[in-house]
Amino acid sequence: MRRSETRSADSRGPVPESYLLLAERARNEAARRRWARTGLRLSSNKETSFLLLEQLFKADFREGDYRSALDAATAMIRLEMLADGAWARAAACHLALGDLDNTEKALRQAVAKAPGQRRAYHLWSLGAFLHMHGRLAEALQAFGRGERIASSPLTRAHAAAVRCELGEPPAQIDQLVQDLEADPTREGYGRFVLGLLYRHEGDAARASENLQAFVRRCEEDPRERAVTLARELEIARRLLGETHRARVIPIRAARRAR
Question: Domain ranges in the chain?
Answer: 152-258
pLDDT in tens, 109-137: 999 999 989 999 999 999 999 999 999 99
The pLDDT of residue 11 is above 60: no
Q: Please provide the size of the chain in residues.
A: 258
Residue 223: per-residue pLDDT: 73
DSSP classification of residue 244: H
Average pLDDT over residues 164-175: 95
- Residue 176 to residue 189: CA distance in whole angstroms: 15
Percent of the chain with pLDDT over 90: 81
Average pLDDT over residues 160-164: 98
Higher pLDDT, 256 or 161: 161
Average pLDDT over residues 52-75: 98
- Residue 25 to residue 212: CA distance in whole angstroms: 32
SS3 content of the chain, % helix, strand, coil (to 5): 80, 0, 20
With CA atoms as reference, report the closest residue to 126 among 94, 151, 103, 98.
103
Mean pLDDT of the residues in the chain: 91
Integer-rounded Cα radius of gyration of the chain: 22
With CA atoms as reference, report the closest residue to 23 among 66, 42, 222, 65.
42
The pLDDT of residue 3 is above 60: no
The pLDDT of residue 235 is above 60: yes
Higher pLDDT, 204 or 257: 204
- Residue 31 to residue 23: CA distance in whole angstroms: 7
The pLDDT of residue 40 is above 50: yes
Q: Is 47 in contact with 18 (CB distance < 8 Å)?
A: no
CA 176 to chain centre: 22
Q: Is 133 in contact with 99 (CB distance < 8 Å)?
A: no
With CA atoms as reference, report the closest residue to 129 among 164, 158, 149.
158
Residue 6: per-residue pLDDT: 47
Residue 220: per-residue pLDDT: 85
Rama region for 82: left / alpha / beta (φ>0; ψ in -120 to 50; rest): left
Q: How is 170-221 classified by DSSP, letter by letter?
A: -TTHHHHHHHHHTSGGGGTHHHHHHHHHHHHTT-HHHHHHHHHHHHHHHHHS
The pLDDT of residue 80 is above 80: yes
Average pLDDT over residues 5-22: 71
The pLDDT of residue 43 is above 60: yes
pLDDT confidence tier of residue 219, bands split at 50, 70 and 90: confident
Q: Is 62 in contact with 224 (CB distance < 8 Å)?
A: yes
- Residue 162 to residue 77: CA distance in whole angstroms: 32
- Residue 181 to residue 187: CA distance in whole angstroms: 9
The pLDDT of residue 5 is above 50: no
- Residue 101 to residue 191: CA distance in whole angstroms: 27
